[in-house]
Amino acid sequence: MAFYARGIDRGAKAFLIALDHNAAYENPNFAWFKDCRESFVYIDRVIVAQSARGLGIAKLLYEDLFVAAKQAGHKHIVCEVNIAPPNPVSDAFHAAMGFEEVGQATIANGTKTVRYFERVLRGC
């Protein structure tokens, strides 16, 4: 179902999984983007092992995803980051990668609040 799935050291150090708008994925965050965007690539998971953080691995995975998305004709890369509980490191990373907030939602029976981010790829 993944549009993009890449790992570093077979996923032991880091991995990123992204789905495009055609995926049959039941998730409230994915559904929010389906309601708001005609076409997109949704970053579902990005995990970097504690021992590999600060090495630029997430940036490399994101940049590789941007290239793959552009080559496939996608223009919008989207994701969500927790507001409650907060995730300031992820907020700062996504801002540095050119993402902008496009919405918010409270999910999981009110136990979680997320911020929706989007990066528009230029030159598609």
120 to 10, 48, 82: CA distances (angstroms):
29, 24, 21
Q: Is the pLDDT of residue 124 over 70?
A: no
Q: Which CATH class is domain 4-120?
A: alpha beta
Q: What are the extents of the domains in the chain?
A: 4-120
Nearest to 46 by CA among 67, 17, 21: 17
What does the pLDDT look like over 8-18, one tens digit per residue? 999 999 999 99
Distance, CA of 5 to CA of 3 (rounded, Å): 7
Cα atoms in the Cβ-side hemisphere of radius 13 Å centred on 13: 15
Output the pTM of the full model. Answer: 0.94
What does the pLDDT look like over 42-89, one tens digit per residue? 999 999 999 999 999 999 999 999 999 999 999 999 999 999 889 999
